[in-house]
Amino acid sequence: MEKKVRVRFAPSPTGGLHLGGVRTALFNYLFAKKHNGTFILRVEDTDQTRFVEGAEEYIVSCLKWCGMSPDESPQTGGPFEPYRQSERKATYKQYADQLIADGYAYYAFDTPEELDVKRKEIPNFTYGLATRGEMRNSLTLTEAEVNALLAENTPHVVRIKMPANETVSFTDLIRGHVSFDTNLVDDKVLLKADGMPTYHLAVVADDKAMEISHIFRGEEWLPSAPIHILLWRYLGWEDVMPQWVHLPLILKPDGNGKLSKRDGDRLGFPVYAQNWTDPKSGDLTKGFKELGFMPEAFVNLLAMLGWNDGTDQEIFSMADLVEKFSVERISKAGAKFDFEKAKWYNHEWIKNADAKTLLPIVKDAFAVQGTEITEDAYLEKIIDLIKDRCHLLTDFIPQSAYFFIAPQEYDLPAVKPKWTAEKAEFFNAYTSLISDELPATVLEEKFKELAATHNFKPGELMLPFRIMLVGGKFGPGVFDIAVALGAAETIQRIKNALSAFE
C-alpha cells in the first residue's frame, strides 16, 4: 500500500520569513495537493534564546496571503497535536535516554569556558571523533563519576556519538545518491542543558510522530542529513523514514552565494514575504506584499526559482502549479534571483487580473494615502484603463491619482516653448465639441477634424491636451482619459490649463 503523502513546513519563529522559506513551503504545499496529501505547519521553537514575539503569527499571515493555508497547524489543530515543538518537550528526553542506553549518544559535561579553551587550542575545533576523548563526558568519565554529576544536577548536554569509518548514504529525490563519511561529521548536541531538544533530535522525533512521508528542505540542511539518518536508524525507525528532497538555493543576482536580507537592503528589493518589524529594535524590513506584489505573482515567481514544467510557459496559477508540479523538474543548481524578472511576473498578473479583483486592493492603497473612494464602478473603469501600465500595485496611485484630483501643477517646459495663441483658440473651440454622449473614438475624430480646420497636425496638440488633463507626459489614451473624467471635468481642466499656459 502506498504511503499517504504528509509533508510539513517547519519554520523557526525568529523573525521575518525569507522568500527561500516561502518557496520551501510552496513546494511542500504543491506536492501535498498534487498527491491529495496533507500540508502541515509545525513551529520549531525549541531554541528559546532566538524566539521572537509575534513571529509565529507573522508566518501564519504570510502563508495565508500566499494562499497556502495548512491542513494541520497550531492554529487549526489536527490529529498529531501539539504542532509547536516547545509543547512537545516531554516527548524528547525518552529518545535521548534510549540513545544513551543503546550506546549511540552520551552525556557531555563540558562548561562553556572549557569549550572556549579548546577552541583557542585547536583551530576549527569540532566536538567529535578526534576530540571527544579529551573532553569531560560519559565516554571519558567513570560510571560512578557520571552518576554523581547527574545526581548533583550538573549542567550537561546529550551528544550523538558519530560512528568511526562508516559511510552514510541515502537517495535524494533531486540529487540522487548522496554519501557522507562519518569521520567528517561532528557529535552534534541532541538535548540541551535546559532539557529542550536541538533541531536534530526534535525534527526526527516529530517527523516520526506526525507520519511525515517526504521532507522538503533547503540544500543548506544537507550536511545534517547523516545525523538525521543515523537517528532514524538508531531509534529503530529506518523502515518508515521519509524520502528526502533537498531544494536548490536561491542565489544572489550575480550567482555568488545565497541570497540574504543584506543583499536585498544593498540592492534595493525585499527578500521577506511581508513587512516585518523587529519587536526589540523597531526596525522595519519591507516585504513583497507591501511593495505592491499580488500574491499570485509572488507564488508564481517563487515556483520558477528552481522548477519548470519542461515547456516555455512562465505564467502559472496555483491550480496550474498543483497540476503540473513534479519533483523531477526541480533543478539541482541554485537559482539566481532577478528582481526585474519578479516585477515582470507581477506586471503580467496585474494586466491579466480583472478590475473587480484589483478593486479592493487599489481602494485600500488609496485609503492609506488618505483618499477615500466611494464610487466603485468609476474606480473599476480607471483600473481597466491603467492596469497595463502598472508593474506594482502601488503604481496605481501615481498612475491614476489625476482621475480623482485635478492637476495642481503642469509640465510647463514640455508645452510653453511651442505654445501659441492659435493653440489656445483651438482648445477653446474644442470644449464646445465635448459631450458625455461621445465615446473616445468620436472625441478623437472631432479633435482631428478641428485641428485640420485650424491648420494644425493632431500631433502638435495631443501632448498639450494630455498635460491639461493629467499634468504630465503619462497615462493611457488621452481620449479614454477624457471619457473617464466626463465632459464637465474635462472642459474645466482645459480651462484651468489654458490659464496656466498663458
pLDDT of residue 51: 87
Active site (annotated) includes residue 261: yes
Peptide bond between residue 82 and the one before it cis (omega within 30 degrees of 0):
yes
Select which of 93, 261, 446, 448 is catalytic.
Answer: 261
Q: What would the pLDDT profile of 155-176 be if each residue is shown by its tens digit? A: 999 999 999 999 999 999 999 9
Looking at residue 2, its pLDDT comes to 65
- Which DSSP state fits 36? T
C-alpha closest to that of 157 among 102, 206, 114 = 114
Span 257-287, pLDDT tens digits: 999 989 998 999 999 999 999 998 999 999 9
Residue 333: predicted pLDDT: 94
pTM reported for the whole predicted model = 0.92
What is the b/e burial string over 160-187, where b = at least 16 CB atoms within 10 angstroms of the residue's CB?
bbbeeeeebebebbbbeebebebeebbb
Distances (CA, A) of 381 to 348, 359, 481, 484, 485: 19, 10, 10, 7, 10
Q: pLDDT tens digits for the chain (502 residues)? A: 567 999 999 999 999 999 999 999 999 999 999 999 999 999 999 887 888 899 999 999 999 999 999 999 999 999 999 999 989 988 899 999 999 999 999 999 999 999 999 999 999 999 999 999 999 999 999 999 999 999 999 999 999 999 999 999 999 999 999 999 999 999 999 999 999 999 999 999 999 999 999 999 999 999 999 999 999 999 999 999 999 999 999 999 999 999 998 999 899 999 999 999 999 899 999 999 999 999 999 999 999 999 999 999 999 999 999 999 999 999 999 999 999 999 999 999 999 999 999 999 899 888 888 888 889 999 999 999 999 999 999 999 999 989 999 999 999 999 999 999 999 999 999 999 999 999 999 999 999 999 999 999 999 999 999 999 999 999 999 999 999 999 999 999 999 999 999 8
pLDDT of residue 1: 54
Q: How far apart are the first and last CA of the chain?
A: 84
